[in-house]
Amino acid sequence: MLVDTLFPTDYQLHLFHEGTLYESHQLFGAHVVVEDGKVFTRFCVWAPNAEVVRLVGDFNDWNGEGYTLHRVNNEGVWFIQLDEDMQGALYKYEIKTKEGKVLLKADPYSFFSELRPNTASIVYSLEGYQWNDSKWMQKKEKKQIFSEPAVIYEVHLGSWKKKKDGSLLSYKELADELIPYAVDHGFTHIELLPVIEHPLDASWGYQGTGYYSATSRYGTPHEFMYFVDQCHQHGIGVILDWVPGHFCKDAHGLYQFDGTYLYEYETEDDRENRVWGTANFDLGKNEVQSFLISNAVFWMENYHIDGFRVDAVANIIYWPNRNGEMENPFGVRFLQNLNKVVSQYDPSFLMMAEDSTDWPQVTSPVHYGGLGFHYKWNMGWMNDVLTYMETAPDKRPAVHGKMTFSLLYAFTENFVLPLSHDEVVHGKKSLLDKMPGDYWQKFAQFRLLLGYMIAHPGKKLLFMGSELGQFSEWKDKEQLDWHLLDYEMHNKANDYLKELIKVYKRSKPLYELDHLHDGFEWIDVNNARQSIFSFIRKGTKEDDFLVIICNFTPALYHDYRIGVPKQGSYREIFNSDSESFGGANCINKKVLKTEEIEFHGKPFSLKMSIPPFGISILRPVKHRKERKGNGKEKMRSHAVSRREREQA
Give 53-97 as a DSSP string.
EEEEETTTTT--TT-BPEE-STT-EEEEEESS--TT-EEEEEEEE
Map 240-280 to HEC letters.
Answer: EEECCCEECCCCCCCCCCCCCCCCECCCHHHHEECCCCEEE
Our CA dihedral for 158, 162, 166, 170, rounded to 10 degrees, sits at: -70
- Residue 144: the pLDDT is 86
Instruction: Tell me how far apart the alpha carbons of residues 248 and 108 are, in angstroms, rounded to a whole number.
Output: 13
The residue annotated as part of the active site, out of 94, 154, 354, 413, is 354
Q: What are phi and psi of 44, to 5 degrees?
A: -140, 135
Query: Helix 221-233 vs helix 134-142: angle between axes, to the nearest 10 degrees?
Result: 60
Helices assigned H by DSSP within 304-438: 314-317, 329-345, 379-390, 401-404, 431-434
Inform me whether the pLDDT recorded for 40 exceeds 90.
yes
pLDDT tops 70 at residue 186 = yes
pLDDT at 642: 42
Q: Which amino acid is at 494?
A: N
Give residue 643's pLDDT band: very low, low, confident or very high (50, 70, 90): very low
Q: Where are the domains of the chain?
A: 10-123, 151-395+413-428+460-470, 396-412+429-459+471-623
Q: Using alpha carbons, select from 446, 462, 466 the residue that is nearest to residue 582.
A: 446
Whether this model's pTM surpasses 0.85: yes
CATH class belonging to 10-123: mainly beta
In Å, what is the CA distance from 587 to each residue of 4, 310, 492, 590, 605?
76, 42, 17, 9, 18
What is the CA angle 606-610-611, rounded to 5?
160
First to last CA, the chain: 49
Alpha-carbon distance of 315 to 284, in angstroms, equals 14
Q: CA nearest 501: which of 570, 445, 454, 560?
A: 454
Tell me whether domains 10-123 and 396-412+429-459+471-623 share a fold. yes
Q: What percent of the chain has pLDDT over 70?
A: 95
| CA pair distance 97, 586, nearest whole angstrom | 74
Does residue 394 have an active-site annotation?
no
Per annotation, catalytic residue among 311, 384, 467, 544 = 311
In this structure, are residues 101 and 39 in contact, taking their beta carbons and an 8 Å threshold? Answer: no
CA distances to 1, 34, 211, 288 from 37, rounded to whole Å, are 14, 6, 32, 35
Structure confidence by residue, pLDDT tens digits, 518-540:
999 999 999 999 999 999 999 99
Determine the distance from the C-alpha atom of residue 576 to the mean position of all C-alpha atoms in its chain, rounded to a whole number.
28
User: What is the overall mean pLDDT for the chain?
Assistant: 94
- Whether 414 shows a pLDDT value over 90: the answer reads yes
- Report for 2-6, 302-306, 644-648: range of highest mean pLDDT: 302-306
* CB of 460 closer than 8 Å to CB of 467: no
283/289 Cα distance (integer angstroms): 6
| Separation of alpha carbons 500 and 272, rounded Å | 44
If 0-12 CB within 10 Å is exposed, 13-18 middle and 19+ buried, where does residue 632 land?
Answer: exposed
**Statement: residue 634 has pLDDT above 50:** no
| Element containing residue 10 per DSSP (H, E) | helix 10-18
Pairing of strands 545-551, 189-192: unpaired
Segment 335-393, tens digit of pLDDT: 999 999 999 999 999 999 999 999 999 999 999 999 999 999 999 999 999 999 999 99
Rg for the chain (alpha carbons), in Å? 27
**Is the pLDDT reported for residue 51 higher than 70?**
yes
- Quote the CA–CA distance of 282 and 254 in Å, as a whole number: 12
User: Is 354 annotated as catalytic?
Assistant: yes
Interval 30-39 mean pLDDT: 93
Is-contact 210 197, C-beta < 8 A?
yes
In 3-state terms the chain splits into helix, strand, coil percentages (rounded to 5) of 30, 25, 45
- What's the fold here for domain 151-395+413-428+460-470? TIM Barrel (3.20.20)
CB 84, CB 92: distance < 8 Å: no
Q: How many CB atoms lie within 10 A of CB 25?
A: 24
Answer for the pair 339, 293: CB distance below 8 angstroms, yes or no.
no
What is the mean predicted confidence (pLDDT) over 468-491? Answer: 97
DSSP code, position 148:
S
| Domain 396-412+429-459+471-623 of CATH type 2.60.40.1180 | yes
Q: Are 492 and 485 in contact (CB under 8 A)?
A: no
